[in-house]
Structure 1
Amino acid sequence: MESQAPPKTQCARHGLSDSGLMCRHLLLESGKDYYACADVEGEAPQAWCALCDEVLCAEQGWTDRACGVADWKIVCVECYHSVLSRHHLVAISVGTDEPQ
């Protein structure tokens, strides 16, 4: 079985690159605590701030409301890592969206 490649995005700075997904708060601000998903082959890395995590927990998942607060932004993976270097990692999520 072949592994899937992560989705690509066109970045003004880095050209065509693998993509990452992060909440707008991480992209626009600095010094925030954040959470990230464990790396999954073929999927874009994902990160969200503590505020988004509070809403995620209250909503018990990525509901429309939680996604609205996050206002997800797609960035190239190089920018993703650069942006995250301005913040503080709290935890890596290894959960699943599958019902228990």
Structure 2
Amino acid sequence: MKLFDIAHSRTGDKGNISNISVIVYDQKDYERVREYVTPERVKAHFKGIVNGEVVRYEIPTLGALNFVMQDALGGGVTRSLALDAHGKCLASALLAMDIPAKN
């Protein structure tokens, strides 16, 4: 299954840092997402895009995870040659991550 089947996201940026929040639709899916969507898996998912550290912050009361990704925007909005210099489509790309289906 895809992450977008059970969650939505928001994203932001500051300089060369991208920030993606993943929010489950149903609180019952939070633990599965928390266990599977790790900083290591997020960094691997964005191989070649995110070159720095990925830090995850957990917000269980909201059913959300927030990922702060360093060196993720090709030098920053004003320096990057990327068509999506602000990294807004990174949220959609993360939601396309495959996760295990519920047992």
Task: Report the TM-score, using the length of structure 2 for normalisation.
Answer: 0.30
